[in-house]
Amino acid sequence: MADEIVELHDGTEDLVLVGIQRRGVQLADRIAQLIAEREGEPPRRGALDITLYRDDLQTVGPRPVVGPTDIPGDIDGARVVIVDDVLYTGRTVRAALDELADFGRPARIGLAVLIDRGGRELPIHADVVGKRVELRRDQRVDVLVNELDGQDSVVVVPKTAPPSDAGRAAGGSRAKKVPTPPGRRTAGEKSA
């Protein structure tokens, strides 16, 4: 994924990786590190909490907790890559685009996600995808990261199962653990 991002943006000049809270932030950090190893310098990194820009605040139930947002410096004219763990309906990315617009006017905004599970409800498209997964409507995919959950894994669980965080496998025998080291291409994945 790191390679593809660099390729897509013709290098790291003016590159800003913005991770979406929560796990997108950790993924963005890792990608930045990989880019640093390959290119010598890590790109600027930021974090975005999109809770206040959600389009479903009126119906989601109890108020979700708002995490920190930190966009370093000026993003006018920058090449921003939004990084998130899972792309599904596209509404999170829509909220992120609205929020970024309140910070400035990047020259270009791209999207890199670890898992694309299809099921889009808006015309949103990922430029860089770690793995595509086909799921039924009654299933959900959770990404766990070492920094927050004590392990790196991607699990498929029933939609109504409790969140998989902190390494707790949910849904019993129906969970399929698919360990996927980030940044490695698998067969059949194509960028852009």
Closer CB to another protein, 54 or 185, in the complex: 54
Using CB under 8 A, which of 86, 109, 114, 145 touches another protein?
86
Tokens representing 39 are 């290119």
Using CB under 8 A, which of 22, 91, 125, 132 touches another protein?
91
Closer CB to another protein, 12 or 21, in the complex: 21
Give, as ranges, the residues between 39 and 68 that touch another protein (CB under 8 A).
49, 52-53, 56-63, 65-68
Before 22, cis peptide (omega within 30)? yes
Give, as ranges, the residues between 154 and 183 that touch another protein (CB under 8 A).
159
> Cβ(85)–Cβ(103) under 8 Å?
no
Closer CB to another protein, 1 or 86, in the complex: 86
Closer CB to another protein, 62 or 188, in the complex: 62
Q: How far apart are CA 58 and CA 53, in angstroms?
A: 11
The arrangement of strands across the sheet holding 128-132 comes to 44-48, 15-20, 79-87, 108-116, 128-132
Q: Where are the beta strands (DSSP E) in 6-127?
A: 15-20, 44-48, 79-87, 108-116
Residues that bind another protein (CB under 8 A): 49, 52-53, 56-63, 65-70, 84, 86-92, 98-99, 102-104, 121, 137, 140, 159
